Amino acid sequence: MPKSHICPSCLVELARIRAVPDPHYGLPVVVCPGCKTACVRTKHPDRVFWRSYHRTNIAIRLAIGKLLVTLISGLLLWAFVVWSEDVFVDFRGKIQIREAFTSLDINTALGAWGIVLFSFIMGYSIRLIYAHHRFWVPLVILLTAGTFFGTIDYTSSKLVELIALLGSFEAMTDSPSSSELLIRGKLVLLILIPILSGFFVVRLLKGSMKKSESKKFRRVLKKQRKRRAYEN
């Protein structure tokens, strides 16, 4: 039920009349149907302050939370690429997918299935939190975050090597060669398959999720109406 708004001239309740922004100042003006007096519908300062405070609070939390999830996903993507080098690439430097999944070595098999499962979950969650964007935007965000961490890793290892040269000590890092980087690129493409399937699952479930959301909304609304009717 709307909040009460009384016409200052004839005392008619105006709460049910829609306040249209006037063309001159953009104020929410309501014209009384009885006496034709125009009055502005202002919100209570207490309500306005706390509502804007809560909205800003939620917005900041959402932004920071999504940023963290994105960063963690980017870090995981990079970690999966590095990890999949051990799982999918054999000693000759060739990618062996089927062998990894059917390997008798429990660590290799678990690693392969783990990468697929977690990549799927990552894709699902990233698509879900960026549901307001087009399909390709979350993918670009995820790849950018992964590349960001990859670049940090690569640059820092190169920097350490440079510092080691300056300080004449032996660097403990092992920066990847160009062939290794090529293999990593191929592995990224492989990992993208479960990630994209996560994206598609979100798309498939989108309709049902919307339906359940609106159902929930209707249920809450019904409850509130019942309560109000009981109170009045």
Partner 1 sequence: MESENTTNDSSKQSLNSENNEQIRADRACIGCGFNLFGQPVIKEEHYNLAIARCPECGEVAAIQTYPTMSHWVNRFRAIIGAGWVVTLIAAIAINSLIIMGMSFGAVDIASEKLSEEIGFAHSRWVEAQSLAAIEEQKRVRDSMNPVESEPVVIESESSNTVEDPEVVTTDSALQNRVSGSVATTINGITTTVTTESDGSTTTSTSINGVQTSSLMGGSYRWTTISNNWIENELGPMLEQKGGLWANVNREFLIMMIPIAIVSMIAGIFWSVALLGSRRRVAIIIPILVSFLALVLVVSTSLSDSMMSYASEVARDHLTFIIGPIMVICAAIFGLLGVYIGRSVARFVVLVSLPPRSRVSLSILWTRDGLALPKPKNK
- Residue with the two structure tokens 């005392």: 11
Q: Is 207 in the site for partner 1 (CB under 8 A)?
A: no
Report the residue number, 6 or 181, with the smaller CB distance to partner 1.
6
Rounded Cα gap, residues 96 and 115, in angstroms = 14
Rounded Cα gap, residues 188 and 122, in angstroms = 14
Among residues 149, 162, 157, the alpha carbon closest in space to that of 188 is found at 149
Q: How far is the CB of 165 from partner 1 (least distance, A)?
A: 9
Position among 38, 67, 182, 209 found at the interface with partner 1 (CB under 8 A): 67
Site map 93..132 versus partner 1, x via CB under 8 A: ------------------------------------xx-x
Report the residue number, 11 or 110, with the smaller CB distance to partner 1.
11
Rounded Cα gap, residues 196 and 122, in angstroms = 10
Report the residue number, 49 or 200, with the smaller CB distance to partner 1.
49
Contacts with partner 1 by CB under 8 A: the residue count is 46
Among residues 70, 199, 19, 59, the alpha carbon closest in space to that of 123 is found at 199
Q: Is 58 in the site for partner 1 (CB under 8 A)?
A: yes
Q: How far is the CB of 89 from partner 1 (least distance, A)?
A: 29
Query: What are the two backbone dihedrals, phi and then psi, of residue 32, each rounded to the nearest 5 degrees?
Result: -65, 130
Q: Is the dihedral of CA 207, 210, 69, 55 positive or negative?
A: positive
Taking CB under 8 A as the binding criterion, the range among 1-9, 21-29, 188-196, 207-215 that sits at the site for partner 1 is 1-9
Contact of 131 with 85, CB cutoff 8 Å: no
Q: Is 55 in the site for partner 1 (CB under 8 A)?
A: yes
> Which residues between 5 and 24 bind partner 1 (CB under 8 A)?
5-6, 8, 10-13, 15-16
For residue 140, give the 3-state DSSP assignment: helix
Position among 20, 38, 59, 204 found at the interface with partner 1 (CB under 8 A): 59
Helix axis angle, 45-88 to 106-129, nearest 10°: 150
- Residue with the two structure tokens 């429990």: 106
By the criterion CB under 8 A, which residues form the site for partner 1? 1-6, 8, 10-13, 15-16, 44-46, 49, 52-53, 55-56, 58-60, 62-63, 66-67, 70, 129-130, 132-134, 137, 141, 156, 159-160, 163, 166-169, 231-232
